[in-house]
Every structure is written in structure tokens, then in C-alpha cells.
Amino acid sequence: MAPEDVERVAALEAESFTCPWSAESFSYLLEREGCELWVLEETDAGVVGYAVLWCISDQGELANFAVAPSHRRRGYGAYFLTRMIQVAREREAKRLYLEVRASNEAAAGLYRSFGFQDVGRRKRYYDKPIEDALLMTLEL
């Protein structure tokens, strides 16, 4: 992700989540050591996905991950998730964590298809609507 991608990423974030991160949050993270911010671009459409990954010591967290609603169910999520797992391995993470809304069966199914395991539940983690998060992990 480059600074010129931030506004488009923030717009995709707002399309994808009920409590979106701000453009300022993405800009701040661009400067933060240990953060990996990636975009997925399509030749004609430009940025159609983004991911935020951070790795501390031997732990990684996929903190934010989305594909534009208009580009879902086309294999972009699987392609991009494959790349993010590879980046975590390159950063020498031994385990990768993420949280996902308990009702987001499509995303949870994608993560499970990559070997992520449900390891916990964070009660009332999300707002708008209030909902639990599934905590998932992948051994790398």
C-alpha cells in the first residue's frame, strides 16, 4: 500500500465494515514498523482489496482484510490470503491470528479452508451490531 492508495482503501473499508477504520488510521500504519499494508489491484478496476498484517516476535495478526463487494466470490480473497500467509512466513511468524464476526460465515469458511482453527470467542467484540468475534489461528 502506498500513500496514494489510502483514500481508496478507506472507501473499501467503509463498504465492507460497519465500524470502519479511518484513512488516518491506514496512513499512520504505513509509517509503523512491523506493519505490512498490502493492496490487491486489478488492471481495470484499480485497488480491489487490502490487508493489514503485523508481526511481533514470532506471532502474526491479520488485523484487517477485505475484498471489494463487487469483486467477491471470484477467488481474489483466496489469492490474497495465500500471499498474506506467505508474507507472515517470510517475517518468521510461527502462528497467525485473526478475528472475524461470528456471523460472517463466508469469511470464516475461507479461513478454515486454509487451515485456520477456531480457538476462542471474544464476547461482544464488534459494534453495529454488537456481536461476538471468532478468534482463529493458523500454525505456520
- CB-based contacts of 38: which residues, under 8 Å, 6+ apart? 1, 50, 51, 53, 80, 83, 84, 87
The type of residue at 3 is: P
Written as nine digits, the cell of 97 is 491470528
The C-alpha cell 508481526 sits at 55
50 has catalytic annotation: no
Q: Identify the active-site residue in 13, 36, 61, 99.
A: 99
Q: Identify the active-site residue in 24, 111, 126, 131.
A: 111
111 has catalytic annotation: yes
Catalytic sites, residue numbers: 99, 111
